[in-house]
Amino acid sequence: MPINALLLPVISSSLDVDSRSRVLALRAVESLRDAGHEAALVDLAEANLPAFDNGAAFDNARFKEIYDLIRTADAVVLASPVYNWGLGSNLKNLIETTGATWEGQRTAAWFDKVVTFICAGGLPHSYMGYTGLAGAMMLDFKCVINPYAVYSTDRDWDGPEAPSGQLLDRLEKTMTVHMELATLLGGRTYSSGWEI
């Protein structure tokens, strides 16, 4: 691992056994690792996280691991299906739990993170489905949202687990911007908290 290697986890939030967003998450991990960075895949389908209750959910051992990974990450990729013009509830549950602040105990893990979205949807015109959550993360946690996102539909796939060449090119460019933003913002002189 090079000295300037970044910690760039990829979170796959789909529960679908044939998830296309998970396939893209795995490709993103490969791209980030090929560039010399540390990129763990967190698959929420296997994490068995409890529902956010602002209490007992914080005692879950897997939650604590994921919280620490996000908190220490240089940037985070979020892979999700698009359902009903928005991202899946599993991802929102993760963000609510890891984004909660408990007085004197915990600060939200997401403050000032570079965040990149990778999505798979059914309809081409749902391509903005991630923007509601992206806007909330920008306003709540002062996340820097990568303006390059990946959105794919049936037309972008050559087979069940075979993204088209054009889709892979878009993913590669998006990961390049993700890495560059994380590198350039690594020396920032500020840190954020709950503020308007």
Q: What is the DSSP string of 97-143?
A: HHT--BTTTB--TTTT-EEEEEEE-SSGGGTTTTHHHHHHHHHHH--
Find the mean pLDDT for residues 10-37: 97
Closest CA to 179 of 20, 70, 38: 38
Residue 105 pLDDT greater than 80, yes or no = no
- Pick left, alpha or beta for residue 66 (phi over 0 → left; psi -120 to 50 → alpha; otherwise beta): alpha
Report residue 104: phi and psi, to 5°. Answer: 75, 0
Local confidence band at 123 (pLDDT 50, 70, 90 cut-offs): confident
pTM over 0.85: yes
pLDDT for the residue numbered 2: 52
Among 14-18, 28-32, 112-116, 133-137, which is the least confidently predicted range?
14-18
Q: How far apart are CA 149 and CA 167, in angstroms?
A: 11
What is the pLDDT confidence band of residue 93, given thresholds at 50, 70 and 90? very high
Q: Is the pLDDT of residue 196 over 80?
A: no
Domain boundaries, the chain: 10-187
CA distance 33 to 25: 12
Q: What is the pLDDT of residue 195?
A: 85
- Nearest-angstrom CA–CA distance, 37 and 49: 26
Q: What fold characterizes domain 10-187?
A: Rossmann fold (3.40.50)
Percent with pLDDT over 70 in the chain:
98
Share of the chain above pLDDT 90, in %: 86
Summarize the confidence of residues 14-38 as an average pLDDT. Answer: 97
pLDDT category at 102 given cuts 50, 70, 90 is confident
More confident residue, 138 or 160: 138
